[in-house]
Amino acid sequence: MTAAGKRVAIIGSAGSGKTTLARRLSEVLGVPVVELDAINWQAGWRSLYADDPAEFGRRVDEAIAGDGWVTDGNYRKALSRILRRATDLVCLDFDRQVVMSRVVRRSLARAWDKRELWPGTGNREMFVKWLDREHPIRWAWDTFAPRRAHYDLLAADARLTHVIQHRLRHPRETPALIDRLLREADSQS
């Protein structure tokens, strides 16, 4: 089954499950997944978003040029581009306890097995970086409240009336969302 017309943007705190949900929706809907972190992070943890925003934007535009896709990521400048074309916006607005337990478990597993996060970059998570301001654990903690306030702004944004917004407050709501998006895609084909 392919839901070529479904274009879903997923946002949420670091560790909330954006990438996992994006991969699942990609599989169910039969559309490509666009992982914004994979576009952004270059070898040696160089941020394309910070170092060459025009190139970052070009790559995002190229990735979302198709009829159907699922994106995951919170890059503000990319989000505005994505939401112009999106049919759906999913905000993973889980409690801080859920987010923090997930991001700590994920960081522990990544640092332990030393796997490369994005192929060809050589980027791996390391225990010695856990206290850095940019580390996902600290980032998730520090950006939690502002991110939640951003979801409220998006919900009230009159420019987004073309986007169906889904705000999940608990992970157990995820299966129902997947079923709903699949039913909508089926009814449109």
Delimit the domains of the chain by residue range.
Answer: 7-96+147-183
The reported pLDDT for the residue numbered 78 is 94
SS3 for 11-75, per residue? EECCCCCHHHHHHHHHHHHCCCEEEHHHHHEEHHHEEHHHHCHHHHHHHHHHHCCCCCEEEECCC
DSSP 8-state secondary structure symbol assigned to residue 128: G
The reported pLDDT for the residue numbered 3 is 64
Class of domain 7-96+147-183: alpha beta
| 108-to-95, 111, 142, 160, 187 alpha-carbon distances in Å | 20, 5, 19, 37, 42
Low-confidence stretches of the chain (pLDDT < 50) are 1
The reported pLDDT for the residue numbered 11 is 97
